[in-house]
Amino acid sequence: MINSRVDEVYFRDKKIFIKRDDLLDIDFSGNKARKLYYYIKHNFDGIKKIVSRGSIQSNAMYSMSVLSKIKGWEFEYIIDHIPKFLLDNPQGNYKYALENGMKIKYSNEDIDMNKAIFVDEGGRGKEAYFGVEILAQEIVEFAQNIQNMVVVLPSGTGTTALFLQKYLYSYGIKVYTTPCVGDKDYLIAQFNMLEKNSKYHPQILLLDKKYHFGKLYKNNYDIWLEVKNSTNIEFDLLYDPKGWLMVEQYSKFFKDKNILYIHQGGLIGNESMILRYKRKYGY
């Protein structure tokens, strides 16, 4: 994994820096690559399998399938259920994870944990610090030439934002995030699971409107498209619309700050998201 570059773009006449973690590697990119980097860089003698659980379209699931391929491990993934349309027409993360050899399991009982590593849902957990710290070091290096720089990114589990803030705290760099999965209390609870001291917590900026994770919203697609057209960069359709809505809603607050927006990858997931938006809104 090499240092990802930073691009300079304009969104509504404001200059914004983009940390291009989507370009880290063709197959292994975004924050899931950072979070799983620990497993790439360490040897696990005797391990033959990686086991995880989560949702059937998750970016983490796809990245773990790539990791297992790189390591020569099997990959077993536990889910509650697969929607029928997906079973009949595999697409996006699910399709490519299957191509990488992922085996689906419907219950823990089917799983033999002998010679296996369990990775928490979403690649969260303390191992994620290893790779996110490298991202933070790259950010510190970039920030040397930039006045008043702040880091902005949307959160799921909040692992990436929390570990970034934990490292960047001593450099006086603030991290701003917005919850995409639950509400503010949920995100704070996630932060606390990884770090009790709230001085290391990112600052949460809430959006005016409430959104349910994974649901489709016209304004989410609209801002995604606007960002795509004005920056020439494609972002993820699940989390990033909330990230950009945060930039938009808090534009006064960010006016005198230089934003470094972290592109967290996830573009393979867009394949199925775009199809869903097409079906719902006819885009």
Ligand X SMILES: *Cc1c(COP(=O)(O)O)cnc(C)c1O
Cα–Cα–Cα angle for 242, 13, 245, rounded to 5 degrees:
10
Q: Which stretch binds ligand X (CB under 6 A): 7-15, 25-33, 144-152, 248-256?
A: 25-33
Among 52, 93, 155, 231, the residue binding ligand X under the rule CB under 6 A is 155
The strand pairing partners of 258, in sequence order, are 149
Residue nearer to ligand X on the CB measure, 113 or 214: 214
Among 30, 54, 131, 202, the residue binding ligand X under the rule CB under 6 A is 30
The nearest distance, CB 206 to ligand X, in angstroms, is: 16
Residue nearer to ligand X on the CB measure, 31 or 220: 31
Report how far residue 179's alpha carbon sits from residue 157's, in angstroms, rounded to the nearest whole number: 8
The nearest distance, CB 132 to ligand X, in angstroms, is: 8
Ranges of beta strands (E only) in 71-211 are 74-78, 103-105, 116-119, 149-155, 175-179, 203-204
Indicate whether 52 belongs to the interface with ligand X (CB under 6 A). no
Among 52, 165, 231, 264, the residue binding ligand X under the rule CB under 6 A is 264
The nearest distance, CB 88 to ligand X, in angstroms, is: 25
Ranges of beta strands (E only) in 62-202 are 74-78, 103-105, 116-119, 149-155, 175-179
Side chain identity at residue 89, one-letter code: N
Exposure string over 22-61, b if 16+ CB within 10 A, otherwise e: bbbeebbbbbbbbbbbbbeeeeeeeeebbbbbbbbbbbbb
Indicate whether 158 belongs to the interface with ligand X (CB under 6 A). yes
Residue nearer to ligand X on the CB measure, 49 or 124: 124
Indicate whether 202 belongs to the interface with ligand X (CB under 6 A). no
Among 29, 52, 59, 65, the residue binding ligand X under the rule CB under 6 A is 59
Report how far residue 86's alpha carbon sits from residue 94's, in angstroms, rounded to the nearest whole number: 8
Size, binding site for ligand X by CB under 6 A: 18
φ/ψ of residue 179, rounded to 5: -75, 135
Among 4, 157, 178, 270, the residue binding ligand X under the rule CB under 6 A is 157
Indicate whether 178 belongs to the interface with ligand X (CB under 6 A). no
Indicate whether 154 belongs to the interface with ligand X (CB under 6 A). yes
Pair 98, 5: CB distance under 8 Å? no
Indicate whether 250 belongs to the interface with ligand X (CB under 6 A). no
Indicate whether 4 belongs to the interface with ligand X (CB under 6 A). no
Pair 250, 69: CB distance under 8 Å? no
φ/ψ of residue 246, rounded to 5: -65, -45
Indicate whether 241 belongs to the interface with ligand X (CB under 6 A). no
Among 11, 62, 239, 261, the residue binding ligand X under the rule CB under 6 A is 239
Residue nearer to ligand X on the CB measure, 106 or 204: 204
Strands 203-204 and 116-119 come out as unpaired
Strands 258-263 and 14-20 come out as parallel
Indicate whether 57 belongs to the interface with ligand X (CB under 6 A). no
Can you give the binding site for ligand X, defined by CB under 6 A? 30-32, 59, 122, 154-161, 236, 239, 264-266
